[in-house]
Amino acid sequence: MRLRPVEQGSLLLAIDTAPRVVKLSGDKFTDYLLAEGLDDALAMRSASASTNQPGRERYRRHVKTLISVAGKSDATALASTGQRIEILPASPPQRWGPDEQAELRVIFDGKPLTGALLKAWHRHGGQLVSASQRTDARGHAKFALPHEGIWMFSVVHMIPAIRVPDADWDSFWGNLTLHTGPGEKSK
């Protein structure tokens, strides 16, 4: 499929995947929970003495890509798609640079997600640059991004699965990819 925008501004693509089930050994599941900052799930597994039990997880991906056509931005950059978990810029990404921090918010089921580990990823000069912040009570996190360009933000939220025979946990993987700064210079 090819997209051919006909006017300047923002284009937002969103995809939600169907649920998939994965099973990890107890130690690998614990490592995964630690890496994604899923402290509540770690605490629940510890409290139920199930940390050595395999982790059975049903997961879904909620992916968004924001494209700025001709370096222009509009309200689309800040619009919600209504995905179950969603990462939203709090201000237009074209403004993000050395003088303004990137502020994002994470929403789950239409409400701010507090304490989630939001990660930022960027490739610069062949090196992977990453940072992470916990969301505050409003679901917001701020990043001082050292470079302009394409950044990916990701978050995982996990809750106990209800009435799912082959999974103990439901997880929701949110992702937002966008370009920060004023965009490419014309040649």
CA dist., res. 78 & res. 12, Å (int): 10
Q: Which helix or strand (DSSP H or E) is residue 14 part of? A: strand 9-16
What pLDDT sits at residue 8? 74
Are 156 and 36 within 8 A, CB to CB? yes
Q: Which two tokens stand for residue 26?
A: 């107890």
DSSP state string for 80-135: ----SEEEEESS-GGG-BTTB-EEEEEEETTEE-TT-EEEEEEEETTEEEEEEEE-
Averages of pLDDT over runs of 10 residues in the chain (187 residues) are: 69 94 97 96 94 96 88 78 96 79 96 97 92 97 91 97 95 95 52
What pLDDT sits at residue 1? 65
Q: Read off the pTM.
A: 0.89
What pLDDT sits at residue 46? 94
Per the document, the length of the chain is: 187
What pLDDT sits at residue 148? 87
What pLDDT sits at residue 186? 36
* Domain architecture of the chain: domains with CATH: 9-19+59-180 (2.60.40)
What pLDDT sits at residue 68? 79
Could you give the residue ranges of the DSSP H alpha helices within the chain? 26-35, 39-47
What pLDDT sits at residue 75? 79
What pLDDT sits at residue 185? 43
Give CA angle at 13 (10, 15), nearest 5°.
Answer: 160
**Neighbouring C-alpha atoms within 13 Å toward the C-beta of 98:** 1
**Neighbouring C-alpha atoms within 13 Å toward the C-beta of 49:** 0
Q: Which two tokens stand for residue 93?
A: 């990404």
